[in-house]
Amino acid sequence: MKGLAAGGVLVCLLAAAPARASEDDGAEDGRAPVLVSWKRTLCIYTGCFLEPLLPDVRYEWGPQAREGWVLSWPLHPWALPPLDVPGPTLVVSPFLEPQLRLGTKAFRMLAGARVYAFPDAARFGLLAEGAGLWGRDGSGGVAGLGLSYDFIERHRHTVPWTLSVVARRAWTGEGNRLDVSLDVTVPLNMFLGSPGESRVSGDRTVSHR
């Protein structure tokens, strides 16, 4: 019964339309702790904090008609606060990503950054990423594009918790490769809470950790 109830709550949250940004900055600041708390609590309750330990599965096309599966463990230590620029909301998330190519048992390491672009009134957005690549089967660079969905309403004090479809192109001295994947990204600083403070009454403030 508890599992069914938790599933129902999760479905309701994902189906809910994103709230529009409040024109009153004070009211918007007041919402931040609720969003941070709900996102962090829901993530922990559903076990998403274990996500960095679970590999993403990628299907790869390589040179000389070589195809195969790749396991990867992308680690996003933190996501930077949304960039204050005109247009869509931009979020930058650096990452490290160990990979293991099945079959050849080739180990690889990527280091780079991902940039999300979300229209202000939508949870669906685009992502672009770039990284350096070092591996037993070739070193070089990687670029990727994809479509992303943020599970919970965004705020400048929240961290994106996303489901993404990503296509990558790798350029190496051993030949070029292409792969596609479906990944869930949970930056680890989600569990640190919000650095900001929210005014909860006319003369009282609380800190959110």
Structure tokens at 134: 């070092």
Closest CA to 14 of 166, 150, 156: 150
Encode pLDDT of 39-60 as tens digits.
777 777 777 778 778 899 999 9
Does any domain span residue 16?
yes
The backbone torsions φ and ψ at residue 192, rounded to the nearest 5 degrees and listed phi first, read: -90, -10
pLDDT along the chain (209 residues), means of 10: 44 42 44 63 75 89 82 90 80 95 92 92 90 94 96 72 94 92 87 52 40
Give the model's pLDDT for residue 128: 98
Task: Supply the CATH number for residue 111's domain.
Answer: 2.40.160.20
Number of domains in the chain: 1
Task: Identify the pLDDT of residue 207.
Answer: 39
Q: What is the pLDDT of residue 122?
A: 80
Predicted pLDDT of residue 65: 59
- The SS3 call for residue 51 is helix
Distance between CA atoms of residues 41 and 35, nearest Å: 10
C-alpha distances (whole Å) from 166 to each of 76, 147, 180 are 16, 7, 6
Q: Where are the beta strands (DSSP E) in 119-174?
A: 124-135, 140-150, 162-172
Burial class (CB in 10 A: 0-12, 13-18, 19+), 2: exposed
Give domain status of residue 209, yes or no: no
What local confidence, expressed as pLDDT, does residue 5 receive?
Answer: 44
Whether 62 is in a domain gets the answer: yes
**Does a structural domain hold residue 150?**
yes
Q: CB neighbours (10 Å) of residue 83?
A: 12
- The answer to the question of residue 203 being in a domain is no
In a domain, 207, yes or no: no
The pLDDT assigned to 188 comes to 82
**Does residue 18 lie in a domain region?**
yes
* pLDDT (tens digit per residue) in 172-198: 988 899 999 999 888 888 777 655 534
Is 40 inside a domain boundary? yes
Question: Which domain, by its residues, includes 167?
Answer: 2-196
